């Protein structure tokens, strides 16, 4: 494979990676809407979509690694792109990193909202269904539970 074919294949893989990452971002944003609306059934449906999209991204990543495996023995992918001095590849690398950062931020936001919702639900359950055990005092005069 010559240098131009390698660059074209790498560029094509990176474009697919960007598109798939944007698709994942859209699914995470959809999940965010359902989290805010407390729509548990649609939130659950998003999980399957996220898993399929993650599998698609993983397959693209495997193709990229197969293509660059021989070259990346002692350097990073970013360093390889930098050394190739191809503006289109550099631009796609920046786009990829930007989209992946957006995906990470949206994922973290969704996780935080879900954890807050669970904590609130647990506190409400404790208030609605208090501990029915007899309270006893310990050696320090505090109520034991």
pLDDT at 57: 96
pLDDT tens digits, one per residue of 62-85: 999 888 887 777 778 888 888 888
Instruction: Give CA–CA dist 29/35, Å, rounded.
Output: 10
Q: Domain ranges in the chain?
A: 3-128
> Taking the chain, what is the end-to-end CA distance rounded to the nearest angstrom?
71
Maximum CA extent, the chain: 81
The 3-state DSSP class for residue 74 equals: coil
Residue 35 · residue 117 · CB < 8 Å: yes
Which regions of the chain are under pLDDT 70?
1, 134, 144-145
pLDDT at 110: 95
Chain centroid to Cα 45, Å, comes to 16
Instruction: Give CA–CA dist 17/92, Å, rounded.
Output: 9
Token couple for 41:
């059934």
Classify residue 47 as exposed, middle or buried by CB count within 10 Å of its CB (0-12, 13-18, 19+): exposed
pLDDT at 75: 79
pLDDT at 62: 94
Global pTM reads: 0.82
pLDDT at 127: 84
3-128 to CATH, choices 2.40.160, 1.20.58, 2.60.120, 3.30.70: 1.20.58
């Amino acid at each position: 494979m010559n240098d131009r074919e390698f660059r074209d294949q790498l560029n094509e893989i990176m474009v697919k990676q960007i598109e798939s990452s944007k698709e994942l971002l859209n699914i995470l944003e959809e999940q965010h809407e359902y989290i805010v609306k407390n729509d548990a059934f649609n939130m659950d449906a998003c999980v399957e979509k996220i898993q399929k999209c993650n599998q698609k991204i993983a397959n693209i990543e495997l193709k990229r690694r197969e293509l660059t495996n021989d070259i990346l023995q002692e350097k990073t992918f970013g360093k390889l792109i930098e050394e190739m001095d191809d503006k289109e590849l550099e631009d796609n690398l920046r786009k990829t990193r930007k989209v992946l950062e957006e995906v990470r931020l949206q994922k973290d936001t969704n996780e935080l909202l879900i954890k807050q919702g669970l904590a609130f639900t647990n506190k409400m359950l404790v208030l609605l269904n208090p501990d029915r055990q007899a309270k006893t005092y310990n050696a320090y005069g505090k109520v034991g539970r």
